[in-house]
Amino acid sequence: DAMVIQNPRYQVTQFGKPVTLSCSQTLNHNVMYWYQQKSSQAPKLLFHYYDKDFNNEADTPDNFQSRRPNTSFCFLDIRSPGLGDAAMYLCATSRAAERAYNEQFFGPGTRLTVL
């Protein structure tokens, strides 16, 4: 089945220790997103790729970086995690198409704990 996969599902890291979260998709969608969702809050868009074009949200901290080496994979790098970065990180994909709605398909998320 076509899907969005995130690994790992649960990640524990130490304060200040770099961590990388991964996302892959078999949908062949050209747009990929990373969201941060804290408990009882809305998903907050960090950045997205439109094909290879990287689009950073204005309020995304520099501590967060992303890479998209090819259509299928996208990575979220947190260079120096702080306690406030503990959250669920959601990857989503969509197929951008003019004049057509394009729902976003979400992966199962990676829950990050920072000790």
For another protein, the binding residues (CB under 8 A) are: 31, 40-45, 48, 50, 88, 90, 94, 96, 101-109, 111
Taking the least distance from each CB to another protein, the nearer of 66 and 94 is: 94
Taking the least distance from each CB to another protein, the nearer of 79 and 108 is: 108
Beta strands 110-114 and 10-13 are parallel
Determine the Cα–Cα distance for residues 68 and 24; give it in Å rounded to an integer.
Answer: 10
Q: How far is the CB of 10 from another protein (least distance, A)?
A: 10
